[in-house]
Amino acid sequence: MSSSQTDIIDSSIRLEKVKNVVVIGAGISGIVTTAHLLRIGLNVTVIERADKVGGAWNYSPQPDPDPPFPSMRPPTPELQQSCVEGLSLQDMKSRFAPPGPVYASMKSRNSAAVMQTSLLGWPEGTEDYMGHEKVLAYLQDLACVYHVNERARFSTRVESVAKRESDDRWLVQTCELIRTTIGYTLKRDTCEFDAVVVATGRYNVPRVPDIPGLSTWKQEFPSRVSHSRQYRTPDRFCNKIVLVIGGFISSLEITNDLTSNGAKVYHSAKDTMFDFRDRVDHENAEKVPMVGKFTITSEDVPTPRLLDDDSPIPGRVILESGRVLEHIHHVIIATGYLCSYPFLGPTLEAPSMPLQDADEKVIITADYRTVHNLHEDIFYIPDPTLAFIGVSHFASTFSLYDFQAQVLATVFAGRVRLPSQPAMEVEQMRRKSRVLPGTFLNSIFLLDDFVIRRLLEWVNQDLVAGGFEALRGPDPKWRDEFKVLRENARPLLGKFQDNYLSS
């Protein structure tokens, strides 16, 4: 063995003191992470702000309250704001766990084989592209089989996560909502852990672009302008003209739902390489350029109470092409979400730091769409006892997050070494140098099988050398079906897939 190879091994990182782990979130990422950590012998506490597992797959007919218009950065995190006394029980529950983005007719985006985890198969006879009820039932079964519920503290928000320098323990401050006979009480607590896993997902803070006049439309006609997170059913849009803004998957799905139920849709977005609007195949959907501004046609505007359900909004939509749209009844903003971890504090979540100025410590910058300084989108490079599952974007979430959780468990258990910090920093800079315009650092462009293969080569070397069983990765059926999925995406993603694989 050469001296350079010896130096690499000597400087690699092996975590040997992780015994007690906190997992923040009990959606798919949190459930599979907890299961694999328990299976490998670690003690796990799960903190979940809702009163049950399932995360974003929990359906509520009650939509999320309005986000700010615009919403280009999350609200400033304050302990007092999220755990404020004096609200009704229902209002407090909404603060703790706002309703998610699932709408009534929502189905899974992938087949059962592609969405299956290594932990549990789907029930016999499960159809592909199943409804959200069956997806949630699968997650609940996973949590039951692997005793996730027994490890969970439900109706509990994480308010602060910080490392105590004196003994390298993580201090996690929480606020628990406890129902009482007369309402509720709030219980604050601080617990200590050896490691922290953030598994809170990517669908928490709606992103609303700052389009001139949009905030005025929202103020004047609040029930007519909403974010896709608030969409539930197409009923009230039947025989109406709807402007959907956004060119990604949620806008495609909602446009299909609307047009299939009698709505006329103008589908507006910037022209990008990720434009899904061409996949809408309905005579009542028209692809139009991005909105330039919203205007009101008359100063004598009726109040929202006087604008009846059948009347269009008395305003014009000026597209960037100069075309004018009128007689719009509703606007749905389907421009995605902001990625935010406010409990990590201002050093790791730096709202004033531009994306291009990200240093070697920050996790979230002003764009709120990139998660920085994670090795393999999992381990925080300056301190790998802070980890994330569910960051990778444009991926087959169930299977990939399940495998990432397996990798995480082997590292936390001390069975697999991480590269040295300098080596991980070099790799992070290499990845950033290859990010193409209009894309994000954490996107893998449906190359899950290649990512998993790379991770297998890394972790299995140490596992086999240590006398442990090697990780197998997804089964052959998953590989076959995922290959078809990936190849079918080539017309849209081929350029980005090739760039990712060449880096």
Q: Please give the C-alpha separations between residue 73 and each of 64, 202, 396, in angstroms, as whole numbers.
A: 17, 14, 27
pLDDT recorded at residue 9: 45
Say what percent of the chain tops pLDDT 90: 83
User: Does 256 score more than 70 pLDDT?
Assistant: yes
Return mean pLDDT, the chain: 92
> Checking DSSP bridges between strand 241-245 and strand 330-333, what pairing results, if any?
parallel
DSSP state of 344: G
User: Terminus-to-terminus CA distance in the chain, angstroms?
Assistant: 27
User: Does 503 score more than 70 pLDDT?
Assistant: no
Q: Strand 20-24's sheet: what is its strand order?
A: 152-153, 43-47, 20-24, 195-198, 386-388, 379-380, 374-375
Give the burial class of 380: count Cβ atoms within 10 A of its Cβ; 0-12 exposed, 13-18 middle, 19 or more buried: buried
pLDDT recorded at residue 304: 58
Which residue matches tokens 């109040």? 303
Domain ranges, ordered by start, for the chain: 16-204+338-502, 208-335
Instruction: Look up the CATH architecture of domain 16-204+338-502.
Output: 3-Layer(bba) Sandwich (3.50)
User: Does 87 score more than 60 pLDDT?
Assistant: yes
pLDDT recorded at residue 80: 38
Report the Cα 303 to chain-centroid distance in Å.
36
CB atoms within 10 A of CB 188: 11
> Phi and psi of 421, rounded to 5°?
-60, -45
pLDDT recorded at residue 105: 95
pLDDT digits over 202-216, tens only? 888 999 999 999 999
DSSP state of 9: H
CA count, 13 A, side-chain hemisphere, 401 = 30
Confidence bin at 8 (pLDDT 50/70/90): very low
Taking alpha carbons only, the member of 395, 422, 429, 449 closest to residue 7 is: 422
User: Does 88 score more than 50 pLDDT?
Assistant: yes
Taking alpha carbons only, the member of 221, 264, 268 closest to residue 244 is: 268
Q: Are 394 and 444 in contact (CB under 8 A)?
A: yes
Which residues are within 8 A (CB) of 90 and not within 5 positions of it... i.e. 6 or more apart? none
DSSP state of 200: -
Which residue matches tokens 């803004």? 245
Angle at 281 between CA 484 and CA 439, to 5 degrees: 55
CATH number of 208-335: 3.50.50.60
Query: Can you tell me the distance from the alpha carbon of 159 to that of 81, in angstroms, rounded to the nearest whole number?
Result: 10
CB atoms within 10 A of CB 450: 15
User: Does 235 score more than 60 pLDDT?
Assistant: yes
Q: Stretch 237-251: mean pLDDT, rounded?
A: 95
Task: Pick the range with the lowest mean pLDDT from 192-201, 467-476, 494-503.
Answer: 494-503
CA count, 13 A, side-chain hemisphere, 119 = 31
Q: Are 243 and 329 in contact (CB under 8 A)?
A: no
Q: Which residue has the higher pLDDT, 247 or 29?
A: 29
pLDDT recorded at residue 392: 96
pLDDT digits over 259-284, tens only? 999 999 999 999 877 777 877 888 99
Taking alpha carbons only, the member of 220, 56, 62 closest to residue 132 is: 56
pLDDT recorded at residue 135: 97
Query: Can you tell me the distance from the alpha carbon of 271 to that of 261, in angstroms, rounded to the nearest whole number?
Result: 27
> Checking DSSP bridges between strand 315-319 and strand 324-325, what pairing results, if any?
antiparallel
CA count, 13 A, side-chain hemisphere, 312 = 16
Asked if the domains 16-204+338-502 and 208-335 are classified in one and the same CATH topology, the answer is yes
pLDDT digits over 107-147, tens only? 999 999 999 999 999 999 999 999 999 999 999 999 999 99
| Strand partners for 173 | 160, 190
User: Does 244 score more than 50 pLDDT?
Assistant: yes
> Phi and psi of 476, rounded to 5°?
-60, -35
